[in-house]
Amino acid sequence: MDGSDEQEAAFYAIIDADGRIEPRDDMPEAYRRSLVRQIAQHAHSEIIGMQPEGNWISRAPSLRRKAILLAKVQDEAGHGLYLYAAAETLGVSRDELLDKLHTRRQKYSSIFNYPTLTWADVGAIGWLVDGAAITNQIPLTRCSYGPYARAMVRICKEESFHQRQGFEALLALTRGTPEQKAMAQDALNRWWYPSLAMFGPPDTEGGGAKRSTHTEQSMRWGIKRFSNDELRQRFVDMTVPQADVLGLRMPDPDLRWNDERGHYDFTPPDWDELFAVINGDGPCNAQRIEHRVSAHHEGQWVRDAASAYAAKRQRHLEGVA
Ligand code: 3HC
């Protein structure tokens, strides 16, 4: 878009009518760049997110749990592919995006830099992390950029299975032996605040925290429908009653229902910890990228084989021997 007034006006007419911007539409370069940033980092989060749970596939406590976990981790790979495909409609290549991930020039969600220490962590990730992901992703099904919104429709359907299987795995533990219930409580204690941090920095400065930098513009463009704090509050309000069903204690002494607000009051995550993890100083940042880079290199033969097959098939279709 050369930024002519007419083109700009046509773009905002679609946004203000709650329409969809499609790949062939004129769009401000800043809109395109912000979408590449968010969609790429979303895709990176999906494929890095396979590691914490993948770590437990060979140690699942039953064949049924192993099959469920295999299906979930495979889904996450698929979510990454849908999202890389959506990003490619904006004129970037998957190779370029993966290179930025591997060289730490693009981010992935902070949540995946925490270790999965027990089987209960697999349940907590499904219940809390995928629960937070659903809260954050359902509004994205109405994102102004068509390919992203459509990718999110399918992803959200699969996330519901992810959240439910995690909750069910924890329910089995909390109805098991006292040791199993204690394992579930320990997992909630460790995953609660990092899950709240998934929604990003606060909307306003305060408590020494840097505020969200993209929310205002992202909401003007119809990429984000709600602010980070609005979605965080929605997640807390949804999740606390579920912890009651599990018989687990929320690890926040200041959490309580506020009749006036019609929401739970809660302790925010540690913003210094969030920014430290975002900047690479989380418990597993180095391990996650090392594993990703080596998996990418080990998979080169698959990409070479697929390209060779595609080239041979193309020659066949063109009638070249
Ligand atoms: N982890 C890593 N980086 C984060 C972050 C987090 N939890 N929260 C914010 N950031 C980064 C942002 O990317 C931005 O950095 P950048 O300018 O280099 O991109 C900076 O911190 C400022 O944050 P903002 O709030 O201004 O940024 P956004 O407006 O992009 O909001 C977001 C952050 C809410 C994560 C938004 O990008 C978003 O909704 N993304 C799509 C959903 C997504 O990526 N979810 C991640 C988890 S995916 C998942 O859980 C998969 C499931 O299957 C398990």
Closest atom of ligand 1 to CA, residue 39: 41
307 within ligand 1 shell (Cβ under 6 A): no
As a whole number of angstroms, the distance between CA 136 and CA 262 comes to 20
From the list 281, 278, 292, 284, the residue with the least C-alpha distance to 108 is 278
3-state DSSP call for residue 158? helix
127 within ligand 1 shell (Cβ under 6 A): no
Instruction: Find the 265 Cα to ligand 1 centroid distance in Å.
Output: 23
Instruction: Find the 36 Cα to ligand 1 centroid distance in Å.
Output: 12
Coarse DSSP helix, strand, coil percentages of the chain, rounded to the nearest 5 percent: 65, 5, 30
Does residue 170 contact residue 245 with C-beta atoms inside 8 Å?
A: no
227 within ligand 1 shell (Cβ under 6 A): no
Contacts of 160 (CB under 8 A, 6+ apart): 134
How confident is the model at residue 320, as a pLDDT? 72
As a whole number of angstroms, the distance between CA 54 and CA 67 comes to 12
Question: How many Cα atoms are found within 13 Å in the side-chain-facing hemisphere of 111?
Answer: 31
Instruction: Find the 139 Cα to ligand 1 centroid distance in Å.
Output: 14
Report CA-CA distances (Å) from 213 to 4, 210, 226, 267. 27, 8, 14, 22
What is the rounded radius of gyration, in angstroms, for the C-alpha atoms of the chain? Answer: 21
37 within ligand 1 shell (Cβ under 6 A): yes
Mean pLDDT in order along the chain per 10 residues (321 residues): 78 96 96 98 98 96 97 97 98 97 97 98 98 97 98 94 97 98 98 98 77 94 97 98 98 98 97 96 97 96 95 90 58
Closest atom of ligand 1 to CA, residue 213: 26
The residue contributing the CA closest to ligand 1 atom 50 is 133
The residue contributing the CA closest to ligand 1 atom 9 is 200
As a whole number of angstroms, the distance between CA 54 and CA 66 comes to 10
**φ/ψ of residue 110, rounded to 5:** -55, -30
The residue contributing the CA closest to ligand 1 atom 44 is 42
Task: Supply angle C-alpha 114, 116, 118, rounded to 5.
Answer: 145
Closest atom of ligand 1 to CA, residue 125: 54
Closest atom of ligand 1 to CA, residue 37: 19
